[in-house]
Structure 1
Amino acid sequence: MKIPFDPRQRRAVVNPDGTMSIVDHLYELRARLMWSLLAIVATSIVGFYWYSHGPFGLPSTGHLLTGPYCDLPATSRAEITRGGECRLLATGVFDQFNLRLKVAVATGIVLACPVWLYQIWAFIVPALHRKEKRYTITFVALGGTLFVSGAVLGYLMITSAFSFFLTVGNETQVTALQGPQYFGFVLTVMAIFGVSFELPLFIVALNLVGVLPYTKLKKWRRGMLLSMFIFSAVITPSGDPFTMLALGGALAVLLEISIQFARFHDRMKYKNCPSDAWEGELDDEAASPAPASPQPIGASAGPTGSALTASDPIERPEKLMNTSIPRSGLDDIL
């Protein structure tokens, strides 16, 4: 007898408690990466068209990215076209195609950020409780907003940096930038700002999982704030103080917001859970409780019927001392 095929049998069985083996975690990670890459490829095709054609009345991405350079005074940049139009210099055969492809992929990553942020959250969800799984839409919305906000802030920092560094010596020289170097610099700064703005969100996610409680974040606050500015000084490719301070200050504010969220979340978690569920868990800075007093050695009851204490007298065994022991018994003892 042939049993009909049921397509529901191919569905993966997820444990109700969210536990998975290492192999299952690897398969899950591979699936999440594949969905993210497919979304980026689809949005990169849109970005490839958007490079030179602005849809829905929007400016093209090529025009947006060249804005910080083209907004400079005409005396600060070289004119390489006959009509004096703002253009970047391409010295290689494949420079224009590679440049358009790079901008298309960067645009695709920005447009697909809700998808790959959801895949990251879905990979973390099995370790969360049912109430915490409701934060999916909030996580994806905040993640996309923070990524785009970081990229926009990086774009504004590039504009202010160019207006200073490319005009400080225009009396004796003009700037002629090559397309790959210029676009590579702009995209790198925007990507650094966008990814850096996701750091506080991942701190919140780790707090929801239970890896980073508020007590640890409170202890590490000063070191983490200092590391934000050190990270900004190292990661920014321009090296100017304006970009470093802007990135460091924004990360410090977002870090403090994530720490306060962890404080509120842990307080509500301890408040809603019974006290015996947290028995034995102490704060890292709290002292351990004093051990209980040991029971007195000896009889369980003293002369008054209570336990023996140091002040209770102990009778001297006079009878035993005065009792004579036979020689044979003494030899057995010795």
Structure 2
Amino acid sequence: MLKPARKKEKDPEGRMPLAEHLRELRNRLLKAVLAICLVTAVALFYYKDIVDFLMKPVLDSVGCGGLSVSDLEAAKDGDQKCAYFTVNGLLSPFTIMLKVSFMTGLVLATPIWLYQLWAFLAPGLHKQEKKYSMAFVAAGVPLFVGGGFFAYAILPTTAEVLLDFTPEGADNLLPLDDFIDLLTRMVVVFGLAFELPLVLVLLNFGGVVTGRRMLGWWRGMIMGITVVGALATPRT
């Protein structure tokens, strides 16, 4: 008689073959992507409300008070500049809808994809270190959301400063799709930047780098921050 196959016991230290590591990574990525896609699908039904929410602080700061483009000259008060959002092309409204919905899905699904990231790394940690899994998610979510909100909060001031460089006689017509691209990049970059302290703690727990070694890399870190800042800066 054939004996039933014995269930393979897990390594207490979390070691597994490379093929199992790749399968685990695939499953975690699929769950994270699925969560983002589900939230994005829901956001598609509310994208106009979301766009209004995103545009409101900039319009309150540099908008022309609801006046038409033909009344732009009458809206100008001395050197004060005002701007309009414009949508150019037939496909622009559709692409704007997709961009806004995806950004919403990425931000609101933060708890899920952060947990999947931790769950992939946790098997390599000691038992006493795994108890920090929920603390990782609990700290990571507000950090990412806080970074995204900070990017959203500084938009009015950013718009005022940048529009002050407008030459005399030129009107400010802001393409909405370019604004969404800028806001999406800012939210993602600021959100990930706010996660940096948590990543450093995670690397320390995993034994990848120690605090002493991080201090020894301060010159390279400053150079890396400068390069990332240059690459993340929007270009016209």
1:93 counterpart = 2:90: yes
The structure that has the greater radius of gyration is 1
2:58 to 54, 69, 87: 69
Aligned match of 1:37: 33
Q: CA RMSD in A?
A: 3.1
Secondary structure in 2 matching 1:66: helix
Aligned match of 1:220: 217
Aligned match of 1:195: 192
Letter in 2 for 1:66: M
How far is 1:104 from its partner? 0.5
Contact persistence 1:47–1:104 (CA under 8 A): yes
Letter in 2 for 1:151: G
Give the Cα separation in 2 of the matches to 1:75 and 1:169.
15
- After superposition, the Cα gap between the structure-2 partners of 1:81 and 1:103, relative to the gap in structure 1 and judged at 3 Å, is farther
- After superposition, the Cα gap between the structure-2 partners of 1:47 and 1:152, relative to the gap in structure 1 and judged at 3 Å, is same
Secondary structure in 2 matching 1:140: helix
1:210 counterpart = 2:210: no
- After superposition, the Cα gap between the structure-2 partners of 1:192 and 1:78, relative to the gap in structure 1 and judged at 3 Å, is farther
1:27 counterpart = 2:23: yes
Give the Cα separation in 2 of the matches to 1:211 and 1:202.
11
Contact persistence 1:95–1:180 (CA under 8 A): yes
Letter in 2 for 1:186: L
Give the Cα separation in 2 of the matches to 1:74 and 1:126.
52
1:118 counterpart = 2:103: no
Aligned match of 1:137: 134
Q: Normalised by the size of structure 1, how large is the TM-score?
A: 0.60
Give the Cα separation in 1 of the matches to 2:150 and 2:117.
24
Aligned match of 1:248: none
Contiguous gaps of at least 5 residues in structure 2: 76-82
Contact persistence 1:146–1:194 (CA under 8 A): yes
Give the Cα separation in 2 of the matches to 1:209 and 1:159.
40
1:153 counterpart = 2:142: no
Contiguous gaps of at least 5 residues in structure 1: 53-59, 240-334
- After superposition, the Cα gap between the structure-2 partners of 1:81 and 1:209, relative to the gap in structure 1 and judged at 3 Å, is farther
- After superposition, the Cα gap between the structure-2 partners of 1:13 and 1:98, relative to the gap in structure 1 and judged at 3 Å, is farther
Secondary structure in 1 matching 2:209: coil
Between stretches 158-167 and 99-108, larger displacement belongs to 158-167
CA deviations over 1:86-143 (Å, ceiling 9, x no partner): 8632222221121111110110011111000000000110111111100011100111
CA deviations over 1:39-93 (Å, ceiling 9, x no partner): 11111122222322xxxxxxx32112112431234559983599x9x86322222
- After superposition, the Cα gap between the structure-2 partners of 1:238 and 1:190, relative to the gap in structure 1 and judged at 3 Å, is farther
Letter in 2 for 1:214: G
Q: Name the % identity.
A: 33
Query: Which structure's relative contact order is higher, taking Cα pairs within 8 Å and 6+ residues apart?
Result: 2
Letter in 1 for 2:47: Y
- After superposition, the Cα gap between the structure-2 partners of 1:65 and 1:214, relative to the gap in structure 1 and judged at 3 Å, is same
Secondary structure in 1 matching 2:14: coil
1:128 counterpart = 2:125: yes
2:12 to 6, 13, 16: 16
CA deviations over 1:278-323 (Å, ceiling 9, x no partner): xxxxxxxxxxxxxxxxxxxxxxxxxxxxxxxxxxxxxxxxxxxxxx
> Per residue, is there more helix in 1 or in 2?
2
Q: Normalised by the size of structure 2, how large is the TM-score?
A: 0.83
1:185 counterpart = 2:182: yes
